[in-house]
């Protein structure tokens, strides 16, 4: 790859502890019922977490370092992404085995939103049942919020850790005449600045992978959901563990860690882990599916765009974080090919 010359620069790994296996916090933070804690998977992981905590005193403000890294990564990279790919910072949805050109990708990204709504059984034909208040958790530069607001005539608020993204998202809303319906704030998905039960659609499109505490992330999604609301999570997961497996294989852990370092991701979990978390919160109609076959053309297309003249010149003008992220892209393709990485959708409903 043409950028290999830059690999001679030694990139400082932000935090080697970030991608540890222990994404569940010590027991005292777990908000959910004993039906989950009875599973051996939780016992193993939380026992290991406590053991590690005893042996290695936690790095001070580890999550703070991660959050800062995420904010800076997106502060630096969002502009270049938007310049080449537009305002949707998520995968496109492609018919399997299709060949697509760059001009099809925006349509594919819209299709991803529409397919997600369909999968979640949002009653698209009945206007009276459309969501009226939407929250976009990990909103990027607001592509989903603006699209959903226009589609449903709803208000939407988005939250992001990146001040640059919030600024850009608001500016785009204003330029599209949507500023009275859509607004963006800097806030943490793990502590959403909203009171309980405010939103009838809770939307998380490819932000879950950044959340260091999956249990807290999911419980916040449930908290801000109104009775009867729909929760839609589209996120990167690792493959479900087999019945005899306690963890991924060493090569799989190593592979994911490289991606974590480049994209400011904490430890990955599986789709099954998300389903268990939603079950523990007594959410209903829980559905999940592996959409990896439908996103296959995406990373090759992103790489091609990075290697274009526009892509290369933009990258070289961007910064080390963006370049490091770009260099990790082949790892995503490899991860999908080896059935390690899964592109997952998980949806559910909050009881009335």
In the complex, the residues that contact other proteins under the rule CB under 8 A are: 61, 64, 67, 132-133, 153, 155, 157, 159, 161, 163, 166-167, 170, 179-181, 183-188, 190-195, 198
| CA diameter of the chain | 58
The DSSP line for 313-339 is HHHHHS-HHHHHHHHTHHHHHHHHHTT
Specify the residue, 165 or 288, whose C-beta has the smaller distance to other proteins.
165
Under 8 Å between Cβ of 19 and 266:
yes
φ/ψ (deg, to 5) at 36: -80, -45
Q: Which helix (H) or strand (E) holds 9?
A: none
CB of 267 to other proteins, least distance (A): 19
φ/ψ (deg, to 5) at 236: -90, 130
Specify the residue, 167 or 305, whose C-beta has the smaller distance to other proteins.
167
Specify the residue, 266 or 335, whose C-beta has the smaller distance to other proteins.
266
CB of 230 to other proteins, least distance (A): 18
Q: How many CB atoms lie within 10 A of CB 106?
A: 15
CB of 131 to other proteins, least distance (A): 12
Q: Which residues, 6 or more positions from 80, have their beta carbon under 8 angstroms from its beta carbon?
A: 314, 315, 318, 322
CB of 93 to other proteins, least distance (A): 30
Specify the residue, 159 or 205, whose C-beta has the smaller distance to other proteins.
159
φ/ψ (deg, to 5) at 237: -125, 170
DSSP state of 59: P
Under 8 Å between Cβ of 289 and 118:
no
CB of 191 to other proteins, least distance (A): 5
Specify the residue, 204 or 288, whose C-beta has the smaller distance to other proteins.
204
Q: Which residues, 6 or more positions from 222, have their beta carbon under 8 angstroms from its beta carbon?
A: 231, 278, 281, 283, 350
Specify the residue, 144 or 170, whose C-beta has the smaller distance to other proteins.
170
CB of 155 to other proteins, least distance (A): 7
CB of 22 to other proteins, least distance (A): 18
Specify the residue, 170 or 288, whose C-beta has the smaller distance to other proteins.
170
Q: Which residues, 6 or more positions from 293, have their beta carbon under 8 angstroms from its beta carbon?
A: 96
């Amino acid at each position: 790859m043409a950028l290999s010359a830059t690999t001679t620069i030694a990139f400082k790994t932000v935090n080697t502890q970030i991608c540890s296996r222990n994404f569940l916090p010590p027991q005292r933070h777990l908000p959910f019922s004993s039906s989950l804690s009875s599973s051996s998977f939780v016992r193993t992981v939380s026992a290991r977490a406590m053991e590690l905590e005893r042996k290695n005193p936690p790095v001070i403000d580890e999550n703070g370092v991660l959050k800062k890294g995420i904010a800076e990564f997106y502060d630096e990279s969002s502009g270049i992404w938007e310049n080449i790919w537009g305002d949707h910072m998520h995968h496109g949805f492609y018919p399997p085995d299709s060949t697509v050109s760059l001009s099809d990708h925006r349509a594919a990204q819209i299709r991803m939103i529409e397919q997600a709504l369909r999968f979640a059984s949002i009653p698209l034909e009945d206007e009276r049942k459309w969501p009226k208040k939407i929250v976009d958790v990990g909103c990027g530069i607001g592509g989903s919020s603006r699209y959903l607001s226009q589609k449903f005539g709803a208000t939407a608020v988005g939250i992001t850790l990146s001040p640059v993204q919030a600024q850009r998202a608001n500016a785009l809303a204003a330029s599209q005449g949507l500023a009275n319906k859509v607004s963006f704030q800097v806030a943490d998905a793990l502590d959403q600045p909203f009171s309980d039960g405010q939103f009838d659609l809770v939307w998380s499109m490819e932000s879950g992978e950044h959340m260091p505490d999956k249990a807290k992330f999911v419980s916040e999604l449930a908290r801000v959901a109104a009775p009867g609301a729909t929760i839609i999570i589209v996120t990167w997961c690792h493959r479900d563990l087999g019945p005899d497996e306690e963890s991924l294989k060493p090569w799989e852990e190593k592979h994911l860690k490289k991606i974590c370092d480049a994209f400011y991701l904490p430890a990955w979990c599986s789709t099954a882990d998300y389903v268990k978390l939603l079950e523990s919160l007594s959410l209903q109609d829980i559905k999940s599916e592996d959409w990896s076959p439908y996103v296959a053309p995406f990373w090759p297309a992103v790489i091609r765009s990075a290697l274009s003249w526009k892509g290369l010149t933009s990258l070289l003008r961007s910064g080390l974080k963006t370049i490091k992220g770009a260099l990790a892209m082949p790892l995503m393709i490899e991860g999908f090919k080896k059935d390690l990485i899964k592109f997952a959708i998980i949806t559910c409903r909050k009881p009335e």
